[in-house]
A and B are shown apart, each in its own frame.
Chain A
């Protein structure tokens, strides 16, 4: 790039070109959507099957695996943050959306533990899953995540109409629509950009 005199038109073209280069950079590889999508799918289906077949006394113990995933996620994020060569405003917003989601999930689990309101647990979880998914889709301008978020909200209403035990199946279906399918599409988009 030369630093000779250039016209106002050249300047505007250069500004436009650089802003587009930074704007079109897509840094989401979908890994965490896939990790959590598959994990929650297996946990919900696992608990449902164990409950139906009376395999264990405490089938809800499968959810303990999410703690391992949370620890793994922290290590993964620390490592990937170190490798990042650029940080965008949209990534920052998305990070805070998911931090808020984590806090809300913790408060909800704590509140439900105190109030024993387990009959509405799936509707509340599905409503919460939908919010960060939809907002991330809006910020990233990525339609599959927006659709996934809406599917979660629709399933949250469905969860109030059926027996609580089937809420686990709704949770599994929500994971496919909200995190697994968009996760694979994000991965494909990321790979296409970097090839």
Chain B
């Protein structure tokens, strides 16, 4: 049985965590992602930029009550890549099953 290659963008713990959170909600602010992933702000910011550059998420920056807000939303490409990634994981799991 052939198995699919795992998407290197998603096969990283923090980026996968971010995408898994965003797939479950309509949109989330940076602070929510930071709280749920327990990541540092710097690391999270770097990984969010990588996901954004890959076109997997959209990032909107705005001000609310004079505080900057970073809002993240998964894109159609992000959803498709996530589905492909899960499907590839399943093919790996099936290979491991006797």
- CB distance B16 to A21 under 8 Å? no
> In this complex, what residue of B is CB-closest to A7?
B92
Q: Which residues of A contact B36 (CB under 8 A)?
A: 18, 21-22
Whether A11 contacts B14 in the complex (CB less than 8 A), given A21-B36, A86-B29, comes out as no
CA distance A11 to B85 in the complex (A): 10
Contact of B92 among A1, A8, A15 (CB under 8 A): A8
- CB distance A23 to B24 under 8 Å? yes
- CB distance A3 to B13 under 8 Å? yes
Query: In angstroms, how far is the closest chain A Cβ from the Cβ of B56?
Result: 14
> How would residues 7 to 50 of chain B score, 1 for a CB under 8 Å from any chain A CB and 0 otherwise?
00001111111001101111111011001111100010001000
Q: Which residues of A contact B16 (CB under 8 A)?
A: 11, 14-15, 18
Chain A residues with a Cβ closer than 8 Å to the other chain, count = 28
> In this complex, what residue of A is CB-closest to B20?
A18
Whether A87 contacts B93 in the complex (CB less than 8 A), given A1-B17, A14-B17, A22-B36, comes out as no
Subset of 30 A-B contacts with CB under 8 Å: A1-B17, A1-B37, A1-B38, A2-B13, A5-B11, A8-B6, A8-B89, A8-B96, A9-B93, A10-B13, A11-B85, A12-B86, A14-B16, A14-B17, A15-B16, A15-B20, A15-B86, A17-B20, A18-B21, A18-B36, A19-B20, A21-B36, A22-B25, A82-B64, A85-B31, A86-B28, A86-B32, A87-B28, A89-B26, A91-B26
